Amino acid sequence: MTRAQCIAILTFLPAITLAGSSFAQSDYYIRSQYPDGTFTGSHEILIRPKEGYYQAQYCDRMFWVSTTTVVWTEEEVAAGRTLILEENFGEERNVLCSDNTAFASLYDLGLDKREIEALREPEGSFQTRASRIHTIRDAFKQFK
């Protein structure tokens, strides 16, 4: 084996291996939409534990989610929007379920009542933060 072949193998083999492992993983999202199907937002949920995340069941499968995601899903359902759990694998999207009753609530995370109340306070809600972002975005539209 020549030196050039050895360098080529050592350079490209790890790249191919790493690329293959990243394509082999699916990403999971909860997507929200209006009744007419218009997209309103999404949150990624994890299949492996992460610090600060809680184990929760969505559509008969276990995932790891942040409390922000759970509050967001509760607010989306309360606003009459549809939640969809989907798996993204490269360019493919596979809907796993769209049953609003199959999504975790803050009570399902095992939080105590005080923690749940703090997370649900109106001034800390996801919708409030989102509307602040929309206000800022709208203020900058004139600069396009």
DSSP string, 28-75: EEEEEE-TT--EEEEEEEBSS--TT-EEEEETTEEEEE-HHHHHHHHH
Positive or negative, the CA dihedral 32, 33, 35, 37 is negative
Q: How many CA atoms lie within 13 A of 102 on its CB side?
A: 15
- The predicted pLDDT at position 97 comes to 93
- The predicted pLDDT at position 30 comes to 96
- Smallest CA-to-CA distance from 64 within 76, 85, 50, 75 is with 50
Q: How many CA atoms lie within 13 A of 27 on its CB side?
A: 13
Q: pLDDT below 50 — which residues of the chain?
A: 6, 8, 10-23
- The predicted pLDDT at position 20 comes to 45
- The predicted pLDDT at position 138 comes to 63
pTM score of the predicted model:
0.67
- The predicted pLDDT at position 82 comes to 95
